Structure 1
Amino acid sequence: MDYNKALNYIHGTYKFGSKLGLENITELLKLMGNPHEKLKVIHVAGTNGKGSTSSFIASVLKGAGYKVGLYTSPYLEEFTERIRVNGKNIPKEDLGEVTGFVKEKVEKMVSRGMNHPTEFEIVTAIGFEYFKRQKVDFLVLEVGLGGRFDASNVVKNPLVSVITPIDFDHTDYLGDTLGKIAYEKAGIIKENGFVVSFPQQIEAMKVIEEVCSKKNGKLIKAPIDSIEILKQDDWGQSFCVKYGNEKIENITISMLGEHQIQNATVALTALYILEKEHGVMISRNALYEGFKENIWPGRLEIMQRNPLVLIDGAHNPQGMRALSKVLKKLFYDKNIILGIGILGDKDASMLDEIVPFAKKMVLTQPNNPRAMSVENLEEILKKYKKTIVKKENIKEAVQEALSLADSEDVVVFAGSLYMIGEVRTILKNKR
C-alpha cells in the first residue's frame, strides 16, 4: 500500500466514530502478534501539556543514546508527525507498508463479525507495529482521549504512568467535574506501578491518590513548588528545580511560558523514576542537552520576527490562561494583533483570557466540520469593542494579520490546533 492509499484508508475509518473501550484494539493487536507487549513504555495522560511533556522525555532519552519512539496526537502539518523515532517522522513508505499489514488484520476481524476498529485504534496499532519493527529502546506514548478507555491503555506494565495538568476539556466524553475527568485520566495507573503527577487541583488530586491507593501505585508528585525561574524572554527560559534529593541548576528550555517549565519538571520527575527505579542511565549532559534542544511545534512557537509572529495551540481554558501569562509577561508593551479560530463545541468564554490584550482581531475558521463560523465568533467577541476583521480563509487571515502589523507589533494566532497547523505551513512557505 502506498502512502496516499494508506492515508485514505486511515481517514476513511473516521466514519466508525470514536468508541471508548479496549475490546477492539485488544483483538486487533492480538491478530498482529501483540506488538505493544514487546515495548518499554512511558505512558502520558492529562488535559494540557501531554505532548510537550512527552517530547521532553523523548528528547532527553534520545540524548542519552537510546532509540526512542514517540506517539502523539493530533498532528499539526503532516500525519507522519504522530509516529516518530528519535525525532524523525515515520517514512511515508513505511507508513504505507505497516498500514497494509494492519488493514489485513482489520479485515479478518470484521469477517469474524467483530466491530470495525475506529480511526484512532487503527493508528495506534500502526504505531505499535512500527515501533516494534524499529526495535525502539523506549516508547513515550501519549494518550489520545481520557485514559481509562483510550486505545493506548492496552499497555499493561508501563515503566511509569505520567499525568500532566488536568482541566475541563472533552466534558461530553470524560465528565463535567474535575473529579470525573481525573478518574478517566487515572485509568492509566496500573497495579504496583510508578505514577508521576503534576500537583493537581484538590478535587483531581484526591481522585488520583485514591486510585493509586487502590492499585498500590507509588505516587510521586512533580516538585513544582521547588522551581526557581532564572530567566524568561522571547528566546527561551532557564530554571533550577529538585531532582530526587538534589537540585539541578540552570536547566534551559527553548519553549516559552511558565507552564513549559512545569511540563519540563513533570518530565524530569518521570526521568528520575526511570533512572532510580528502572536503572536507565541518563547522564547530566544528556539531561541538559535534551531539555535545551527539545521543541514542540505550534505551542507558543515564534515563527518570525519583525513583526514577531507567535502561534499557539491553546484551545481550552487552561491553555488560554497559559498564553495570557506569556502575553502579559513578555509582550505587555506591544500592540497585539490576534488571529482567532475555534471549534464550535468549545467554550468560547476561554477567549476572555486573551482578547483583552488585542488591539485588533482577525477572525478565521479552522478547516474542520466542527468549526465555529466567523459570524458566530464575531457575535461572541463584539462586546470587547475591538477592531475586527473577518477572513474565513486561513491564508487570507494570515495575510491580513501581517498587513495590520508594524515591525514592532506582535501577531498571535490561537484557538485550535487544526488552524495552527495550517497557519504554521503558510508562514513556513512564506520564508
Structure 2
Amino acid sequence: MNYSEALAYMKKAAERGSVLGLSRITELLRLMGDPQGKLKTVHISGTNGKGSFGAMLTSVLKNAGYKVGGFSSPAITKVTDSFRIDGCEISNQEFADIIGDIVPICESMDEKPTEFEVLTAAAFELFVRKGCDIAVVECGMGGDLDSTNVIKAPVLSVITNVQKDHSAFLGDTIAEIASHKSGIIKKGRPVYFGGDSEEAYEIIADAAEKNGSELFLPDYSRFEWSESCFGINGADFIYNGEKLHIPLLGTYQLENAVNVISCVEILRHEGLKISCEAVRRGLADVKWHGRFEVLSKEPLIIYDGAHNPDGIRCAADSIRRYFSDKQVALLIGVMADKEYGLYADMLGELAETAFAVKPANPRSLDSQKLADALNAKGLRTEPFAVLAEGVRAAYSYAKEHDVPLIVLGSLYMYREVTDALSGISE
C-alpha cells in the first residue's frame, strides 16, 4: 500500500463516524496479537496540556537513552504527525506500511473500526516494530471509553488537568468529565494528577483508592520562578537549586514542566534511569508545534491552539505577560461546539481588532457567526469565508500597524494557516 491508498482508507474509516467504546479496538488488537501488551507505556489524559507534556517527557526520556514512541491527536500538519519516534514524525511510507498491514484485519471484522481506532492500533504496532523501550500515548478524548484505554498496566497514568470541554460527550460538570478521565487509572499502577480542581481531585482520588493505585500530586515548593523569567525565547526556572530552561512559549508551559519533572521522579521509582542531566537537556531541547509558537518574527505572528475556555484563559495570560505594553490583533477559527461566546470577554481588552475564519473541518463554526458573536461583545471582528484571505488580511494589518498577530483556535487549521503564510512570504 502506498501513502495515497492509506489516506483513502483512512477517509473511508472516518465515514464510520466517532463511536465511543472499546469493543472494536479490543477485537482489532486481539487479531493483531495485542501489540499494546508488549510495550511499557505512559498513558496521558487531561483537558489541556497533553501534547506539550508528552513532547517534554519524550525529549527527557530520549536524552536518558530510551527509544520513545509517541502518539498524539489531533494531527497538527498531516496524519503522520500523530506518530513519532524519539520526537520525530514518521515518514509517509512507514505510515502506509502499517496501515496496509492492518487494513485486511479491519475488513475481516463484522463491526469495522473507526478512524481513530485504526490509528491507535497502528501506533501500538509501530512502536513494537520499531523496538521502542517506552511509549508516550495521549488519549484522543476523555479516558475510560477512549480507544487508547486498552492499556492494562501502564508504567504511569497521567491526568494533566480537568476543565470543561467536549461536553456533548463527557458531560457538563467537572465531576462528570473527571470521572471519564480517571478511567485510565489501572489497578495497582501509579497515577499523577497535575490539575488544581478540588472537585476533579476528589473524583480522581476516589478512583485511585478503588484501584489500589498510589496518587501523586505536584509539589511546587521545590520550584522557583519570577514574573521576569518569561521571554520570547522561552522561560527559565529553578528546580532543587538547579536552573532549567524550556524553549516553549506560553506561561502555562511552566506548569507542564512541573508536571513532567514530577512524573520523572515517579518513573525513577518504577525503575527507569533518568539522570538530572537528561532532564535538563530534554527540557532545553523540546520542540512542539501550535502552542504559542512563533511562526514569523516580522511581523510577529504566534499560533496558539487554545480552543476551550481554560485554553483561552491561559492564552490571554500569556498575551498579557509578553505584550503588556501594546494591544494585539487576533485571527480566530473554532469548532462550532466550543464556547466561543466567551472569547471576547476574555480577550477583548487585549485586542484592537480580530479576523474570523472557518477551518476546513465539517465541525467548524461559520466565520460570520463567529464574527457576529465577537462584535456583539465589543471586539471589532471581520469575517472571511476563505481562510487564506483572512490570513492575508490579518498579516497585512499586523505589518502595517506594527502589532503582534495572535492566531487562536483549533489545531485543525494549523496547516492551513502555515501554508497561507508561506504563500505570502514567497
Q: Aligning the two structures, in what range does the TM-score lie when normalised by the shorter sequence? A: over 0.9
Could you tell me which amino acid in structure 2 is paired with residue 153 of structure 1?
N
* RMSD, aligned α-carbons: 1.5
CA contact (8 A) 1:306 1:407 kept: no
Q: Distance in 2 between matches of 1:127 and 1:51?
A: 16
Aligned with 1:180: secondary structure? helix
Residues 1:240 and 2:238 aligned together = yes
TM-score normalised per structure 2 = 0.96
Which of these residues, 156, 160, 166, is aligned with residue 162 of structure 2? 166
Residues 1:261 and 2:259 aligned together = no
Which shows bigger deviation, 312-321 or 330-339? 330-339
Aligned with 1:139: secondary structure? strand
Q: For residues 37-186 of structure 1, what are the structure 2 equivalents within 5 Å?
A: 37-110=37-110, 115-186=111-182
Unaligned runs of 5+ in 1: 242-246
Q: For residues 204-353 of structure 1, what are the structure 2 equivalents within 5 Å?
A: 204-224=200-220, 226-230=222-226, 231-241=229-239, 247=240, 249-275=242-268, 277-351=269-343, 352-353=345-346
Could you tell me which amino acid in structure 2 is paired with residue 381 of structure 1?
L
Which shows bigger deviation, 350-359 or 309-318? 350-359
Give the match for residue 244 of structure 1.
Answer: none
Which shows bigger deviation, 222-231 or 152-161? 222-231
Cα drift, residue 73 of structure 1: 0.3
CA contact (8 A) 2:374 2:380 kept: no
Could you tell me which amino acid in structure 2 is paired with residue 280 of structure 1?
L
Which of these residues, 407, 415, 426, is aligned with residue 413 of structure 1? 407
Could you tell me which amino acid in structure 2 is paired with residue 379 of structure 1?
D
Q: Distance in 1 between matches of 2:323 and 2:281?
A: 28
Give the match for residue 8 of structure 2.
Answer: 8
Q: Distance in 2 between matches of 1:180 and 1:154?
A: 21
Q: Distance in 2 between matches of 1:369 and 1:355?
A: 27
Residues 1:196 and 2:192 aligned together = yes
Residues 1:393 and 2:391 aligned together = no
Cα drift, residue 390 of structure 1: 2.1
Could you tell me which amino acid in structure 1 is paired with residue 246 of structure 2?
I
Pair 224,167 (structure 1): closer, same or farther in 2 beyond 3 Å: farther
Q: Distance in 1 between matches of 2:257 and 2:384?
A: 36
Which shows bigger deviation, 302-311 or 379-388? 379-388
CA displacement, residues 337-369 of structure 1 (integer Å, 9 cap, x when unaligned)? 111111111111331212331111111111111
Give the match for residue 32 of structure 1.
Answer: 32
Q: How many pairs are equivalent?
A: 421
Unaligned runs of 5+ in 2: none
Could you tell me which amino acid in structure 1 is paired with residue 250 of structure 2?
G
Cα drift, residue 224 of structure 1: 3.8
Pair 96,279 (structure 1): closer, same or farther in 2 beyond 3 Å: same
Q: Distance in 2 between matches of 1:416 and 1:354?
A: 16
Q: Distance in 1 between matches of 2:76 and 2:360?
A: 12
Give the match for residue 417 of structure 2.
Answer: 423
CA contact (8 A) 2:341 2:374 kept: no
CA contact (8 A) 2:39 2:135 kept: yes
Q: Distance in 2 between matches of 1:387 and 1:353?
A: 14
Aligned with 1:205: secondary structure? helix
Cα drift, residue 407 of structure 1: 6.8
Which shows bigger deviation, 259-268 or 308-317? 259-268
CA displacement, residues 105-149 of structure 1 (integer Å, 9 cap, x when unaligned)? 112213xxxx11111100001111111100101100001110001
